[in-house]
Amino acid sequence: MAAAIRLAGVSCHFGAVRAVDAVDLEIAEGEFFAMLGPSGSGKTTCLRLIAGFEQPTAGTIEIFGEGVDGVPPYARAVNTVFQDYALFPHMRVLENVAYGLKVKGVARAARDAAARAALAQVALDGLEGRKPAALSGGQRQRVALARALVNRPRALLLDEPLGALDLKLREQMQVELKSLQRELGLTFVFVTHDQGEALSMADQVAVFDHGRLVQVGAPADIYERPANAFVADFVGGANLLVAAEAALLGAPEQPCSLRPEAIRLVSANDPYNQPRLVGRLVDLQYQGATRRLIVALDAPFERLVLTAALPARAAEGLAPGMVLTLTFARDALWPLGPA
């Protein structure tokens, strides 16, 4: 598959701050690509570099095979959807969507027709005459999408576009965005700090930390085979074991991660040959269909406070202070590389 966007050795420094630090990245054409990381990790700056709102300190950026050094945002084959939508409050929906075409000098009849078609793509037919204040958050988000799509970009850049929505609407828009991307066949580059969004929507995920690209892969690879402790902890949360603890459990003597859902509860006298950990239940947290257990382990793992996620039925009758025996499959211990 051809590359839609390629970054080679790209850095962006603001004084002493290395917002993006020597990033090499390739995004395939037609891919839904997520940039994931905490605040300040460099993901949004990376997106702004692709969009042309920032210029790299070093390295090169290509968009569909063409270098974009010095090319202004409006001349690039991309459009950006911002978290705050940036809609003009005094304009009707149709005017908001058609604004970019108006700036380009497109005749009114043609730009209105294109704007109506873009609104139909995002299921907003019939709302052309409303102003943004009369729309719900999800509708405003769709207007921002239509305004970007009307310019027929080859790639769409989305900067945390669902961040202002409530949970249920955000989940609904995740499904709609993915469906729209498949229908249009466009390259989507989606920036988020929400690992659930990234894992559920993206074909490929890039994890950023302190300006550096830590790992790139399919969502299952990122979650099940994290490159290091940062990825294991940030994406989904994991119990982190030092090398000596991993060795005591029969794993290679190197740091390992253990996902909470890989742990199960057993009776102390049950016969099994899997690793066994004993500890005291510190806290039991209600999470709907699951229960989150916080367990302080006994020697030789007394440094560890383990988190386990059990189905609600498996956690019935548990209470803080109880002594529990926990086990897991040995292959649930995943060896981690250096930070």
Q: Are residues 219 and 267 in the same domain?
A: no
| Residues 195 and 84 grouped into a single domain | yes
Are residue 209 and residue 273 in the same domain, yes or no?
A: no
Residues 37-71 have pLDDT tens digits of: 999 999 999 999 999 999 999 999 999 999 999 89
Same domain for 253 and 115: no
Q: Could you tell me if 200 and 80 lie in one domain?
A: yes
Residues 181 and 281 in one domain: no
Q: Could you report the per-residue pLDDT of 102-138, keeping only the tens digit for each?
A: 888 889 999 999 999 988 888 888 888 899 888 888 8
Co-location of 255 and 202 in the same domain: no
CATH number, domain of 207, equals 3.40.50.300
Amino acid 83: pLDDT: 77
Give pTM, 2 decimals: 0.90
Same domain, 33 and 128: yes
Res 270: pLDDT? 72
> What is the residue whose two structure tokens read 């030092």?
242
Domain end point (choices 199, 234, 269): 234
> 265 with 138, same domain?
no
- Using one digit for the tens of pLDDT, what is the confidence trace for 240-284? 999 999 998 888 899 999 999 999 998 767 766 678 899 999 999
> What's the chain's length in residues?
339
The identity of residue 318, as a single letter, is: L
Q: Which residues contact 69 (CB under 8 A, 6 or more apart)?
A: 60, 61
User: Do residue 258 and residue 229 come from a single domain?
Assistant: no
Residue where a domain stops, chosen among 234, 255, 286: 234
| Segment 170-225, tens digit of pLDDT | 888 888 889 889 988 899 999 999 998 999 999 999 999 999 999 999 999 999 99
User: Do residues 64 and 158 both lie within one domain?
Assistant: yes
Measured between alpha carbons, how far is 135 from 294 in angstroms, rounded to an integer? 43
Domain identity same for 246 and 228: no
Cα separations (Å) of 15 from 23, 154, 188, 283? 18, 33, 31, 45
Residue that the structure tokens 């269909």 belong to: 289
Q: Which amino acid is at 146?
A: A
Around Cβ 288, how many Cβ atoms within 10 Å?
6
Looking at the DSSP assignment, which residues form a beta bridge with residue 153? none
Domain end marker among 234, 257, 290? 234
Contact 122, 178 (CB under 8 A): no
